[in-house]
Amino acid sequence: MRQHLPWTATNLNAVRQLGWAFANLGEPEACIAQAEKALRLSPHDPSLWNSYAQLGNCHLFLDHADLATDYLLKARAAAARVWWIHFYLAGALGLKGDLDGGRASLAEGLRLKPEMSSIANFRDLRPYYSSPKALELEEHTVMDGLRRIGFPES
């Protein structure tokens, strides 16, 4: 009889990393499937924020600002020191028209990572987003939301 091996943190990380790879390639639906799988496999994992962040980012890429905001708020609550969650949440809130909430989230992100002082810096300092498809999705969601709350271009 074949033994079923339990999921380990390494296996869970592999599921999440595959999700991030899909996000970075501009395949948000595939990323969502991986993040949902990670949540099912380990719903009480201490790194749960990572799956919530994936879901938030990818729903944002799909222009589901309300759902993205819900997941990004969960990610932020679990990992408030992860700077980029604040930026994506700011973009989602900006898309929704919550300018004050977006500005507050952006201010916290800038407090944690002051060198991300413009959209140009935000793009340049994250070389892992290099897929034209991912950059296009980000441009029409995250960046538009950040522009709406007054984040400068350069």
Which residues, 6 or more positions from 89, have their beta carbon under 8 angstroms from its beta carbon? 56, 69, 72, 73, 75, 76, 102, 105
State residue 4's pLDDT score: 53
- Report the range of poorest mean pLDDT among 11-20, 122-131, 140-149: 122-131
> Under a CB-based contact definition with an 8 Å cutoff, are residues 28 and 22 in contact?
yes
Angle between helices 99-112 and 83-96 (to 10 degrees): 160
**Residue 56 pLDDT more than 80?**
yes
Q: Which two tokens stand for residue 121?
A: 């810096």
Sequence ranges of the domains in the chain:
9-148
Neighbours of 86 (CB within 10 A): 25
State residue 127's pLDDT score: 76
- pLDDT tens readout for residues 67-119: 999 999 999 999 999 999 999 999 999 999 999 999 999 999 999 999 999 99
State residue 126's pLDDT score: 83
- Report the range of poorest mean pLDDT among 109-113, 124-128, 137-141: 124-128
State residue 15's pLDDT score: 95
Q: Which two tokens stand for residue 92?
A: 């989602």
Which residues, 6 or more positions from 57, have their beta carbon under 8 angstroms from its beta carbon? 23, 28, 31, 68, 72, 88
| Total residues belonging to the chain | 154
CATH architecture of 9-148: Alpha Horseshoe (1.25)
Q: Across residues 119-147, what is the average pLDDT? A: 91
State residue 125's pLDDT score: 87
